[in-house]
Amino acid sequence: MRTRRFIFGTSLLVAASGWVGCQSTKTDEHATSNASEKAVSATSLAQQVLPLIGGAWVKADYLQAVQQTKSPRKAFDLAGPVSEILISPARLTGDSLVASLGLGNHEGSDMTVYFRPGRHAKALTTNFVDYEVPGSFAELSYQAGAADTALALTTYAPSRKVLARTTYRRVSGASLTDLAALNRAVRQLLFTGRYVGTDSLGRSARLEFGADGSLKGLKGFRTYDVNTDFMGVDLDHLVLDSDTKHRREMSYRHSGDTLRLYAARWAEAEVPTLVRGRLLFTLVRR
């Protein structure tokens, strides 16, 4: 009888082990299936959404202020915490993508965008947070429109109360590898085009400013950029041939279609200050 009990007990153990093994296999298969379904779902969502949100984006109200005031300095306070976002489809890895961020026109950072539904039907989760509000989180929302996609970054408190909502405008022709859309957009708004006029001696002048930062007609210089970072400087100015030894700053003012270019110099002081000098060119956009 003892032998029978032992054999019977062993049979139960074998049967139980088989049942547990079967259940474990089913659990593993179910987990694998769920993971595969999530991967497929994320891939499908990415394929649907990337054509809508891919590109270089700049804070909409900042660009509006630049256009209205003709002055990046006057618009600087509207640059906000996140002034531009670069979403390159080439950076897609699995169910996420690392987007580059421009922080207040002063420095760069990044955030991860996850192709997972957010709180709303057309929103994606991100790892962006407001460090001044512990537990905060943010989502990137999108809405296809007649002209272009409306993109917004919304930050929420832990209670899900909206802390901030920022809308962005896509910049056509901007690089998808470098964070340079804001500068390109400002160039397009304020300078791109051909100008005719006179220099300070009354001689005729013809200058051409390109959206890509190219410059023609100004002897000795080939490129320009519009300063948009006013940390430590308080004067609207251009930077000519910035990566060369003959780099030069030039101040400017817009009045309708008229562009005036001035000399600019750094005044010696406890804190060096860029100041406007004499008038160099008076130009009219053609």
Give the CATH number of the domain where residue 141 resides: 2.40.128
Residues 6+ apart with CB under 8 A from 232: 271
* Count of structural domains within the chain: 2
Judgement on whether residues 258 and 163 belong to the same structural domain of the protein: no
**Full domain range(s) for residue 229:** 191-285
In whole angstroms, give the CA distance from residue 197 to residue 258: 9
Judgement on whether residues 75 and 165 belong to the same structural domain of the protein: yes
Last residue of one domain, picked from the residues 183, 206, 239: 183
Is 21 within the bounds of a domain? Answer: no
286 residues of the chain, pLDDT tens digit each = 444 333 334 443 334 444 444 454 444 444 343 434 454 488 889 999 999 999 999 999 999 999 999 999 999 999 999 999 999 999 999 999 999 999 999 999 999 999 999 998 899 999 999 999 999 999 999 999 989 999 999 999 999 999 999 999 999 999 999 999 999 999 999 999 999 999 999 999 999 999 999 999 999 999 999 999 999 899 999 999 999 999 999 999 999 999 999 999 999 888 889 999 999 999 999 9
Cα(first)–Cα(last) distance of the chain, in Å?
110
- Per the structure block, which two tokens stand in for 257? 């279609």
Judgement on whether residues 104 and 200 belong to the same structural domain of the protein: no
Is 256 within the bounds of a domain? Answer: yes
Judgement on whether residues 166 and 274 belong to the same structural domain of the protein: no
Q: Does the pTM exceed 0.75?
A: yes
In whole angstroms, give the CA distance from residue 210 to residue 221: 13
